[in-house]
Chain A
Amino acid sequence: MLEIRELTRRFGATTAVDEVSFEVPAGQMTGFVGANGAGKTTTMRMVMGVLGVNGGEVLWQGRPISRLDRRTFGYMPEERGLYPKQPIIDQLVYVAQLKGMGRVAARTQVQELLERFGLGERAKDHLEKLSLGNQQRVQIIASVLPRPAALILDEPFSGLDPLAVDSMVDLLRDHTRDGIPVLFSSHQLDLVERLCDRLVVLANGRRVAAGTVSELRDAGVPRFRLVLGGDAGWVRDHAGLEVLDLEGTTALVEVRQDGAEQHLIAEATRRGDVHEFVRVRPALSEIYREATA
């Protein structure tokens, strides 16, 4: 498990990351969301050790992370691109060797991964000759070399077509199945909701929400929707509730007093027909908007 504890980074007078804490559990995909400039990239760069920290620490398997630990991590920086004018196999072998693999083993593994991504034929091509999608695939291969202990990916899905997104997702799932923690940042909320086990929301350098998707949706004040047979106007005068929306026979209420919803349903059935009474869980995008507002 990867733990980020009260990580802080200042650039001059501005605090880019302010005491941010969260966890990336083993075998889970953790999505990292937030507006541009929220501090996602800075946090990831600190986790990878390419940027110094002003406070806080990063723990790996319960102890402070070391350089050797980081060498086993797969990392994909935000603006990607390897060496444009070098054959892809050569630069992938180079990256694998920098991460401590032997030359022969590196070549074998790179060859395997290239095959897997359908790039086996193009091993000797220069990177710049490949299409953007294929370049991205090469970048992905670079980040999973050698079999990483953890994956830190900055916007891995940006610029990918739907098919490439699917193969990327498959690859990530492969890793989480093996118990590898994956942290990735994204601003595509639908994707994050579909993929992630957990979610961390950052706004202005602070962590504003964290947890599993259902925890986040269940957190906050419970809301209910009530659809009646007749006019719902009377709900406004009901104690312990705040009416968020009222339209004809339908009311959306937020519970301000524990148990107020029970009194509401009792009152409603006493007054007439109740067509619907449901707990409303906010969509991730709503949570995100509220958290980052």
Chain B
Amino acid sequence: MSTPSNTPSNTPDTGSGSAEPAWLLVTRREVVSRITDKSFLIGTALMVVMLVGFIGFTAWQDQKTDRVTLGATPDAVAMARAVADAAPRVDDQVEITLAELDDDAAARTALGESDVDAWLHPVADGWELTSESSEQDSLTDVVRTVVRQQVLAENASGAGTTVEALEAGSSVSTAFLRGDAEKAAVADAVGFVFVFLFYLAALIFGMQLASSVIEEKQSRIVEIIAAAIPLRHLLAGKVLGNTALALIQLLIYVAVGLVGLSFSPYKSYVPGLSGPAAWFIGFFVAGFIALACLWAVAGSLASRTEDLQTTSTPLTMLMLAIFFGGLSLDGRSQVIASFIPPVSAVVMPKRILSGGVAWWEPLVALGLLAVFAAITVWIGERLYRRALLQTGGRVSLRQAWSAAE
């Protein structure tokens, strides 16, 4: 049996006699038709609002002052006053007002009617801070510290010594070889955001790409296109168009995020985040292109939108693996995963964030990811081309791979 020939895709020519190459026309259509789509615009705007809201809320939460009223019966007024006076030195976000109460019964009533937030009183072996039903975190910390200092000072003078003498040489401070505790926490949070953004973009744009492939296949407009240009150009245009869209969206999110952070208490970290963010964008593009080709294949294997669920299952699994792998891997397994595509697309930027990565490591990982992307583009192109013009039911991967064109 002779090999089928004479198909558009293996006739060597660029598919363009016009000023613009065909893939560029396709790219432009993808971008324009999507960017003028209301749901896309609304979705992007909503995400920006959520980002700004989240950063704003965190900053507000961080800066707001807790105003609490501390109740005390006559036997505890002296201690309570000491606590109220010392509060700003212990925690500058706690402001304590003192309320003098007649006796224990009055204190309980005041607590019940929320006239006071907590009640300080002496008990057999020390002091007790009573609140209605929920713990007063910041107040408790302040009260604990101040009461301890006061009592220690009294006890020390009773024993003929001083607090300083008693505490000498007892302090334990923490230190990190790299960075500090707060920096590590910021790296963790931003790392989560990186993984999440990649997962979200790859899933949403991937699904969108796959269904637009089905749309073209189902309406047979793909035959009109195939008669005019090589299918390679159609695939390239669709993948590039969606990559451009995802990148635009990502750049908006990253910009909003960084600008937002610079107005928050964490602004000192913004310069340090720019480098990792730039790497992340690089890894995002390579990883996204690799996955986009696979999504296009998933679309071309289906004949109807209903089939997409089935043909895209392996891909959704892969996306979940990337998501959870990106979030949970650490130590040696994280180092290994940071070189394995496509998981490396999220794991390496995370490692860069936490620091301690040799200069060549991101380059090697990005190179490997680019090679992986090239392979999926090559395999994807073959599968897409062959499955796209097959009608009637789902096409299996094996059928698509070995099908005559």
List residues of A (47-105) whose CB comes within 8 Å of B's CBs: 48-55, 57-58, 66-68, 70-71, 73, 75-86, 90, 94-95, 97-103
Q: Which residue of A lies closest to B10 (CB)?
A: A52
Chain B interface residue number, banded: 35 or more
Q: Does B102 contact A (CB under 8 A)?
A: no
Contact bitstring B13-49, A, C-beta under 8 A = 1, else 0: 1011111101001000100110001000000000000
A82 contacts B221, C-beta separation under 8 Å = yes
Q: Which residue of A lies closest to B37 (CB)?
A: A85
Which of B32, B227, B229, B230 touches A75 (beta carbons < 8 Å)?
B227
B33 contacts A83, C-beta separation under 8 Å = yes
Q: Which residue of B lies closest to A81 (CB)?
A: B219
A161 to chain B, nearest CB (A): 22
Q: Does A45 contact B (CB under 8 A)?
A: yes
Q: Which residues of B contact A97 (CB under 8 A)?
A: 18, 20, 25
A68 contacts B8, C-beta separation under 8 Å = no
B13 contacts A68, C-beta separation under 8 Å = yes
B14 to chain A, nearest CB (A): 10
Q: Which residues of A contact B20 (CB under 8 A)?
A: 97, 103
A54 contacts B1, C-beta separation under 8 Å = yes
A81 contacts B221, C-beta separation under 8 Å = yes
| A131, B268: Cα distance in complex, Å | 60
B224 contacts A45, C-beta separation under 8 Å = no
| A102, B389: Cα distance in complex, Å | 28
Q: Which residues of A contact B37 (CB under 8 A)?
A: 85
Q: Does B223 contact A (CB under 8 A)?
A: yes
Indicate whether A71 sits within 8 Å of B227 (C-beta atoms), given known contacts A50-B389, A52-B404: yes
A96 to chain B, nearest CB (A): 10
Q: Which residues of A contact B5 (CB under 8 A)?
A: 52-53
B17 contacts A68, C-beta separation under 8 Å = yes
Q: Which residues of B contact A75 (CB under 8 A)?
A: 223-224, 227
Which of A50, A83, A90 touches B226 (beta carbons < 8 Å)?
A50
Q: Does B148 contact A (CB under 8 A)?
A: no
| A70, B13: Cα distance in complex, Å | 13
A232 to chain B, nearest CB (A): 54
Q: Does A142 contact B (CB under 8 A)?
A: yes
Which of B11, B18, B404 touches A102 (beta carbons < 8 Å)?
B18
B40 to chain A, nearest CB (A): 12
A79 contacts B22, C-beta separation under 8 Å = no
Q: Which residues of B contact A98 (CB under 8 A)?
A: 22, 25, 225, 228-229
A81 contacts B220, C-beta separation under 8 Å = yes
Q: Does A10 contact B (CB under 8 A)?
A: yes
Q: Does B6 contact A (CB under 8 A)?
A: yes
| A54, B228: Cα distance in complex, Å | 22
| A71, B358: Cα distance in complex, Å | 53
Q: Which residue of A lies closest to B22 (CB)?
A: A98
A82 contacts B219, C-beta separation under 8 Å = yes
Q: Does B2 contact A (CB under 8 A)?
A: yes
Q: Which residue of A lies closest to B234 (CB)?
A: A98
B209 to chain A, nearest CB (A): 15
Q: Does B132 contact A (CB under 8 A)?
A: no
Q: Which residues of A contact B18 (CB under 8 A)?
A: 97, 100-102
A190 to chain B, nearest CB (A): 27
A49 contacts B219, C-beta separation under 8 Å = no
Q: Which residues of B contact A99 (CB under 8 A)?
A: 228
Q: Which residues of B contact A9 (CB under 8 A)?
A: 4
Which of A55, A79, A142 touches B2 (beta carbons < 8 Å)?
A55
B231 to chain A, nearest CB (A): 9
Which of B15, B216, B389 touches A51 (beta carbons < 8 Å)?
B389
Indicate whether A49 sits within 8 Å of B221 (C-beta atoms), given known contacts A97-B18, A100-B16, A100-B18: no
A48 contacts B4, C-beta separation under 8 Å = no
A83 contacts B223, C-beta separation under 8 Å = no
| A53, B3: Cα distance in complex, Å | 8
| A281, B220: Cα distance in complex, Å | 40
A246 to chain B, nearest CB (A): 49
| A49, B225: Cα distance in complex, Å | 11
| A108, B6: Cα distance in complex, Å | 33
| A96, B20: Cα distance in complex, Å | 12
Q: Which residue of A lies closest to B391 (CB)?
A: A79
Which of A51, A80, A83, A85 touches B7 (beta carbons < 8 Å)?
A51
A95 contacts B224, C-beta separation under 8 Å = yes
| A84, B37: Cα distance in complex, Å | 13
Indicate whether A77 sits within 8 Å of B224 (C-beta atoms), given known contacts A55-B2, A82-B219, A100-B16: yes
The 6 closest A-B pairs by CB, nearest first: A52-B4, A81-B219, A77-B220, A77-B223, A52-B405, A100-B17
Q: A67-B11, A142-B224 are in contact. List 17 more A-B contacts (CB 8 A).
A: A46-B6, A50-B8, A52-B3, A53-B6, A54-B2, A70-B227, A71-B228, A75-B224, A75-B227, A79-B220, A80-B219, A81-B218, A95-B228, A98-B225, A98-B229, A100-B18, A100-B228
Chain B residues with CB under 8 Å of chain A are: 1-8, 11, 13, 15-20, 22, 25, 29, 32-33, 37, 215-216, 218-221, 223-230, 389, 404-405
Q: List 16 A-B contacts (CB under 8 A).
A: A48-B223, A48-B226, A49-B6, A51-B4, A52-B404, A67-B11, A70-B227, A71-B227, A71-B229, A80-B220, A81-B218, A82-B219, A94-B25, A95-B224, A98-B229, A102-B18
